[in-house]
Chain A
């Protein structure tokens, strides 16, 4: 407090509130960053980190609250105004034109000189090269961006911000796309920038990096700022606890009936699966796991550690680059989506309306999606209209879906009812295995409970469930076995009754691993 009067904070945020419709993204958040420090903002997905960063960068305008830069109250109407206050942002998805060179990207939009002749270009290239060297950012100035690695692209982005005279640099999830070596390089660079007096704010959910590279750590959870302290005053264990939150009183495990002896045969077995992610990165790394009939296996992990690929490989939506899948004791060589559906693997995808349902169609059409060719629903290619309608109505009844009619577009239903409908479709075919990816995301308490009951029903009917979720409470509540996924590998296996949130948190953030588990036990 005493220092504050003569040395204003680089960034000072007071009681910022930002809502998106009914969702409160940041709730009375206050946040201070000292000049010349590396400040990490920790939080799970959806904690409000990105919203806060976007407010700092002028992308969103807060509903209420005060934002001060160098002690001066500001109100940004656009990123341009933020840039004028020397704030630069490095986005998670790089904002570079991939067909242009680093040089062109850096100078793009700058009113440098209207005549850009050869001499000018030559001089500029030299200038950028020497400046980049000074900051310790190495990249090929005249190479097209699409030919660069993620680390190199990021260095171009950082340089771009520096070149625009930014004193405060915001990095959103800078290490999420980088290899460990590249991350180390990045933190070395950031330290160097700090020495030249720049202020750096970064968001992440990787605890270990934060501990040794950052000066100050703030933690957000569910839209609120829950803690802020210098990194010297904390440790990974403490951070994990703050990040995950205290164990709520209500969480009670629903135990299996005592008759459950482990079946001898497993239902699904993945052996050393490797797979590529969206940008060609290694998303799954020799991942092995198995699921027995009659159990719910929970896969816990921070988003983007290969969960999507894991679900897609089991359901045939993506092919592994190596490794084997065994289902009901049979190897599956060439998997297709249709093939996986036919052998009895159901799938609740991550994003309901993006993949799982067709929003503009009605409940009947959505329920028919995987079964319309069955004799029950059509005959010689002609759909049995009235019978399908009755069938859909009975499902809507049985699964307690609230909808004005069976012919109402599912897009207009609430998330909970959409999800019930989707689960109804998947479960109705009595699959042997259900892969559920974030099945309760965005649902209220009641809908969450009914989804959980449906999953537990599957278990009691001796079907297998692979529950992939970021919600640790959910996993602790209904799983029989917990696996932790980190960077495409299973790093830990727990029994829910013996595991603590803190311990799992350490595995989820890569601070700890049990190397011997995950594979064949």
Chain B
């Protein structure tokens, strides 16, 4: 970029050779900027942004019910977010969490349809297993294409989402439609032994603990095991990993299958804990929001818990602002803006601004002071 000359100073922007890690407060700034950005739109629509935000906040956290709803939304986000974060760690851009989620939901439902009448423990365990396997297999398709045929995993995983969603539609419209459902496209309501236990009077269910356990397990594995070391090496330098004798292709396949499996569990948890049936709108975009969750968390396990709750709160808060005449899709706008600013901040943090005082003599800097910004 061409330097700027102002008042005897040369201001240039250059790539910072040292910085590769973005400081954590960048994320906070990005979120704040995203909210300010959205506030601008609210002002344009004649709403007071402060009222809107406080309404959203109290909707999401102000009551026990609101809190429970926020955490409820955070469950699939945590699981899918963790799934994509694992893949992103080794630079595999799985954006197929949506499809893997759907396949997990379908597989879990298939257990309720083909093996009804089992005890609560066995049916829930079987459903979890089915969800994981289905999600993992769906991701395996991506992994094979990526590892052996050099197909871009972004396109491959994205396209598989549509296939999964259409397959879901087929199932709920035709073979699995509830015969007593007044022609409504959806399976029959699960029996109580197929539902995840929930808190009294609230919708928050056991899935929250499952998600937390998954995150904890991941954190421990990464910190203490071979596999964690392999992931660390692979994410730091894939060439070096290959040079050290690691089978990089196999590692990519394993990671993608775990990634998909987690999204599949999210799908199971959603049908068994919230909707209690398989219907068309089962995903509501959790698989895509998970991408925001993962980036916001900088792929850090604890960060994923926090950012999932934040994104859950934005969704729940979005419902509550409907009362003052704003659409619930406000939540989508905020999420989009957050992702935009977080990724923008990522780019900016790799640069630094350099201010040099130029002496009258050409091409000679008498005093040069570096000011690092961002």
Given A365-B229, A368-B229, A383-B229, does the pair A337, B236 have CB atoms closer than 8 Å?
no
A372:B229 contact, CB within 8 angstroms:
yes
Q: How far is the CA of A365 from the CA of B236 in the complex (A)?
A: 11
Question: Which residues of A in the span 352-398 have a Cβ within 8 Å of any Cβ on B?
Answer: 353-361, 365, 368-370, 372-373, 378, 381-383, 385
**Per-residue A-contact encoding for B228-264, CB less than 8 Å = 1, 0 else:** 1100110011011111111100000000000000000
Interface membership of B224, Cβ < 8 A: yes
B233:A355 contact, CB within 8 angstroms:
no
A341:B245 contact, CB within 8 angstroms:
yes
Interface membership of B18, Cβ < 8 A: yes
Interface membership of B45, Cβ < 8 A: no
Interface membership of A64, Cβ < 8 A: yes
Q: How far is the CA of A99 from the CA of B105 in the complex (A)?
A: 43
Q: How far is the CA of A354 from the CA of B241 in the complex (A)?
A: 11
Nearest B residue (CB) for A352: B240
Contacts of A385 in B (CB 8 A): 224
CB < 8 Å neighbour of B363 from A64, A347, A358, A373: A64
Interface membership of B180, Cβ < 8 A: no
Q: Nearest Cβ in chain A — how far from B270, in angstroms? A: 32
Nearest B residue (CB) for A315: B243
A358:B233 contact, CB within 8 angstroms:
yes
Most chain A CB neighbours (cut-off 10 Å) among B224, B228, B236: B236
A356:B245 contact, CB within 8 angstroms:
no
Q: Considering only CB atoms and an 8 Å cut-off, how many residues of chain B contact the other chain?
A: 23
Contacts of A252 in B (CB 8 A): none
Interface membership of A63, Cβ < 8 A: yes
Nearest B residue (CB) for A361: B236
Contacts of A342 in B (CB 8 A): 245
Contacts of B41 in A (CB 8 A): none
Q: Nearest Cβ in chain A — how far from B269, in angstroms? A: 28
Q: Considering only CB atoms and an 8 Å cut-off, how many residues of chain A contact the other chain?
A: 32
A383:B243 contact, CB within 8 angstroms:
no
A356:B240 contact, CB within 8 angstroms:
yes
A361:B232 contact, CB within 8 angstroms:
yes
Q: Nearest Cβ in chain A — how far from B89, in angstroms? A: 12
Contacts of A336 in B (CB 8 A): 245
Q: How far is the CA of A385 from the CA of B220 in the complex (A)?
A: 13
A412:B229 contact, CB within 8 angstroms:
no
B20:A337 contact, CB within 8 angstroms:
no
In the complex, the number of residue pairs spanning A and B with C-beta atoms less than 8 Å apart equals 71
Contacts of A412 in B (CB 8 A): 18
Q: How far is the CA of A336 from the CA of B248 in the complex (A)?
A: 12
Q: Nearest Cβ in chain B — how far from A278, in angstroms? A: 14
**Per-residue A-contact encoding for B5-32, CB less than 8 Å = 1, 0 else:** 0000000000000101100000000000
A337:B243 contact, CB within 8 angstroms:
yes
Interface membership of B284, Cβ < 8 A: no
Q: How far is the CA of A355 from the CA of B239 in the complex (A)?
A: 5
Q: How far is the CA of A64 from the CA of B362 in the complex (A)?
A: 11
Q: Nearest Cβ in chain A — how far from B88, in angstroms? A: 15
CB < 8 Å neighbour of A360 from B20, B229, B242, B245: B20
Interface membership of A349, Cβ < 8 A: yes
Interface membership of A317, Cβ < 8 A: yes
Given A64-B363, A355-B239, does the pair A382, B225 have CB atoms closer than 8 Å?
yes
Given A369-B233, A381-B225, does the pair A357, B242 have CB atoms closer than 8 Å?
no
**Per-residue A-contact encoding for B108-142, CB less than 8 Å = 1, 0 else:** 00000000000000000000000000000000000
Q: List 13 A-B contacts (CB under 8 A).
A: A337-B242, A357-B240, A358-B236, A358-B240, A359-B236, A359-B237, A360-B236, A365-B232, A370-B244, A372-B226, A378-B226, A382-B225, A411-B20
Known: A358-B241, A360-B237, A369-B240. 20 other contacts (CB 8 A): A317-B242, A317-B243, A336-B245, A337-B242, A337-B245, A354-B239, A355-B239, A355-B240, A355-B243, A356-B240, A359-B236, A360-B20, A360-B21, A360-B236, A361-B236, A370-B244, A370-B245, A372-B229, A381-B226, A385-B224
Report the 9 A-B pairs with minimum CB-CB distance, sorted nearest first: A358-B236, A338-B245, A358-B237, A369-B244, A355-B239, A337-B245, A381-B226, A358-B240, A360-B236
